[in-house]
Amino acid sequence: MFLNGLDMNFIPLMEELGLKWRDEDRREIDNLFSFFTSKGANCLRVRIWVGDSGPSRLPYAMNLAERACEAGLKIQPTIFLSDRWADLYKQPEPESWASLNFKDKLKLIESYVSKVVERLTSIKDRCSYYQIGNEIDYGISGIFARDKKKRKNREWLKNRIWSYEAIVLREAIRAVRTYEDEKPIALHLGKWWDPVLAESFLCALDEFKVEYEIICFSFYPTMFGANFESLRELSKIARKRGKIAAIAEYAYPSDSLKGQFWFMNKPSLGYPLTLEGQSLWIRDFLTQCLKLNIYGAFYWSPELYLAKNNERRRSVPKETPLDFGWGPMSFFNTKGYAKPCVNSLRSGAQGITESVEGHIDCMRRPPILGNKAQ
């Protein structure tokens, strides 16, 4: 079954602020997970940071996951090897790991990943697959290509970054397999518009014997006004390697963005930055995913509508701000009322892709597709 997914990790923080969501009939939504289940969503991407307290740490993530399961959603655990935001242009290691040598850090990685997967045991039947890291093109957990000029040198990346990153990935994957050897493992690339980088990175992982089954990509078309041909290219990259493609993050705005994501304002042809354009794009995007046998796609933060001038933002932890300008991407307007796009999710609910299901089933049984470690 196609994973018609959402990434809604801000829900508990917004609830703490007393913020509400309302449906198309202006009625208050009692359970946002159940609301989206009724709209066709079937999986929640859960962000898990290193740490024992605070947003996105394990107790917070488990509460989120359990609530989603109660509403009938599957879970897609995303195991960050960081204690805060990590993405294409930053991959910080947890502060408590910073002084450790590489060997000792690997031990903590194994211990941390084991702890996460063991904690998920009670709901493991609801887990779709495990993702290691987030947008790891240029590194992971403190191993990172900070020099922008050197990022252009694929050989340097391979020798100085990817070779060590591969060791981290193998250790994390081994820890997952110790507790859960049936579910697929996914890796996530963030620079979706650079197929050369993706090919170089994946070739390096092949050479370094990293086992995985799913290649995830971020996909934000309004960065460049991209069309669905870009999505087809991402699918080809995975298919070429005998892997399954998934979209770890995607979004499309109903208006121009300001703030942190001001640059995501270039509409795709035929999809204006309006309520109707957003709704139509999401519908057509999900239809394209089904046609391409993409395993799943997760809309990033459809719940997040908080306006920058909202006084309640003062209670939000600095590490997880809510007012960075995501409102136009949200499924709700600045007053918390549902936009028309909430009904576009039904396009993803209609598809059961037997070829993908069969492929994933094969991955769950030895031998696992991909290069085996020697």
Domain spans in the chain, listed from the N-terminal domain onward:
3-363
Give pLDDT, residue 353.
44
Give pLDDT, residue 310.
57
Q: What is the pLDDT confidence band of residue 354, given thresholds at 50, 70 and 90?
A: very low
Give pLDDT, residue 361.
54
Give pLDDT, residue 220.
98
Mean pLDDT rounded to a whole number for the chain: 92
Percent of the chain residues topping a pLDDT of 70:
91
Average of pLDDT values for 218-222? Answer: 98
Q: Would you state the CATH architecture of domain 3-363?
A: Alpha-Beta Barrel (3.20)
List 351's β-bridge partners, or say none.
none
Give pLDDT, residue 237.
98
Give pLDDT, residue 241.
95
Give pLDDT, residue 318.
83
Give pLDDT, residue 352.
47
Average of pLDDT values for 261-284? Answer: 97
- pTM for the model stands at 0.94
Q: What is the pLDDT confidence band of residue 342, given thresholds at 50, 70 and 90?
A: very high
Query: Of 125, 19, 105, 145, which is closest to residue 65 (Cα–Cα)?
Result: 125
Give pLDDT, residue 23.
97
- Measured CA to CA, the distance from residue 237 to residue 202 in angstroms comes to 9
Q: What is the pLDDT confidence band of residue 319, given thresholds at 50, 70 and 90?
A: confident
Give pLDDT, residue 26.
95
Percent of the chain residues topping a pLDDT of 90:
87
Q: What is the pLDDT confidence band of residue 46, given thresholds at 50, 70 and 90?
A: very high
Give pLDDT, residue 313.
56
Residue 309 has pLDDT above 90, yes or no: no
Give pLDDT, residue 308.
61
